[in-house]
């Protein structure tokens, strides 16, 4: 498949790595790097819709899955209206768990799934159920990725603190002021730009997990989303303002967002420093995967999610289901983003790793 776009002088290795990614693709992808406000890598190619052979274009939008969490973490830090040390019930009367806002943002609240019949697209209903739910552990004592409930909880906290929906806050705090092509609650007029998601053969979730009992919990957490092509490609999913995973955007805008953050824009220095220091770390109590979180952001970890250790010191951002990777390398003064519509299992996906290694070698 043809590589489209451009790279600045000295970044040819990144173009070559992206060409390798496309050569092995059933779908499409884009990779962007913005450094000091300048796009030094802006590449795309492949198919936005393999079934109808629609090509990936420079403005193709794609569901970002958990890359959404980094966007929402930025909104939380920019508004600075949620005290991470405050009990959740201080903002949300009737919330029964003895959890702080920091526990929610750092994935230690012990509420990794909604117990009871629910529609994952209904933020308010899921939040109401979570408010009455007993945590699986004492909040703050264990870390485990709250794949979808992070979004229900944070959206409700923001709604109560500001009186506005999380999608409105993304638009008013990030997209409009900084001209970012990012959307939470994607409007109908953008449907024609959407990439169609597809799962690679053998796609699986939580590939490091062997325990059958905890596997049942993981399946419960993701049921009806990553196991359903229909749901993940539905207009209803894109319209839902799911703060954990339904944002759409371009690699160019995600890379620009993280470059802005790394240069002290969008979020003032003190709130950003607080949001990007370690608030939780350890092996996921459910998934067995090493984790390290700030206040909603993923941080550099022992398995190299954010690239070579020579570059990833101080890195923050958020990955997304199926291969997306978005973040900042503050020491290198850049933001990066890899977006794809072809979901691959973590243990069989080296695309973003290859691109970040080439980027490191180019600096």
* DSSP letter assigned to residue 181: -
**Per residue in 61-109, pLDDT tens?**
999 999 999 999 999 999 999 999 999 999 999 999 999 999 999 999 9
d(CA 158, CA 91) in angstroms, rounded, equals 9
The pLDDT assigned to 227 comes to 78
Pairing of strands 280-283, 298-299: unpaired
Q: Which two tokens stand for residue 235?
A: 């207009």
Choosing from 66, 280, 319, 337, which is the catalytic residue? Answer: 66
Which CATH number do you get for residue 270?
3.40.710.10
> Given this model, what pLDDT does residue 275 score?
98
Segments of the chain with pLDDT less than 70: none
The verdict on whether 165 is a catalytic residue reads no
Q: How many domains does the chain have?
A: 1
Q: What is the per-residue pLDDT for 190?
A: 98
Helix intervals (H) in the chain: 12-23, 67-79, 88-91, 101-105, 123-132, 149-162, 166-170, 176-178, 212-222, 229-232, 235-239, 251-262, 269-275, 309-312, 351-362
State pLDDT tens for residues 288-313. Answer: 999 999 999 999 999 999 999 888 89
> Which range of residues forms the domain containing residue 227?
4-362
Q: For residue 254, what pLDDT is reported?
A: 98
pTM for the full predicted model:
0.97
pLDDT at residue 171, as a whole number: 98
């Amino acid at each position: 498949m043809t590589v489209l776009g451009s790279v600045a002088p000295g970044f040819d290795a990144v173009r070559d790595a992206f060409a390798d990614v496309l050569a092995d693709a059933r779908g499409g992808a884009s990779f962007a790097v913005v450094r000091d406000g300048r796009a030094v890598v802006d590449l795309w190619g492949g198919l936005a819709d393999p079934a109808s052979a629609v090509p990936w274009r420079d403005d193709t939008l794609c569901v970002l899955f958990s890359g959404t969490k980094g966007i929402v973490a930025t909104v939380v830090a920019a508004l600075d209206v949620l005290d991470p040390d405050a009990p959740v019930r201080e903002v949300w009367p009737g919330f029964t768990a003895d959890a702080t806002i920091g526990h929610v943002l750092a994935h230690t609240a012990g509420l990794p799934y909604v117990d009871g019949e629910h529609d994952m697209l209904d933020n308010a209903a899921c939040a109401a159920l979570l408010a009455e739910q007993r945590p699986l552990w004492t909040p703050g004592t264990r870390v485990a990725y709250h794949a979808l409930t992070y979004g229900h909880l944070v959206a409700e906290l923001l709604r109560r603190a500001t009186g506005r929906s999380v999608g409105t806050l993304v638009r008013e705090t990030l997209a409009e002021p900084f001209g970012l092509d990012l959307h939470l609650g994607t409007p109908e007029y953008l449907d024609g730009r959407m990439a169609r998601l597809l799962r690679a053969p053998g796609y699986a979730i939580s590939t490091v997990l062997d325990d059958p009992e905890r596997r049942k919990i993981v399946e419960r957490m993701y049921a009806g989303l990553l196991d359903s092509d229909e749901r993940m490609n539905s207009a209803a999913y894109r319209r839902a303002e799911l703060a954990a995973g339904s944002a759409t955007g371009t690699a160019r805008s995600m890379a620009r967002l993280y470059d802005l953050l790394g240069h002290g824009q969008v979020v003032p220095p003190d709130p950003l420093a607080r949001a990007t220091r370690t608030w939780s770390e350890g092996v996921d109590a459910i998934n067995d995967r090493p984790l390290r979180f700030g206040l909603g952001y993923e941080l550099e970890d022992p398995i190299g999610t954010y690239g070579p250790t020579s570059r990833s010191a101080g890195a923050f951002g958020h990955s997304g289901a199926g291969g997306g990777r978005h973040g900042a390398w503050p020491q290198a003064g850049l933001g990066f983003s890899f977006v794809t519509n072809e979901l691959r299992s973590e243990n069989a996906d080296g695309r973003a790793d290859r691109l970040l290694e080439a980027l490191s070698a180019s600096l």
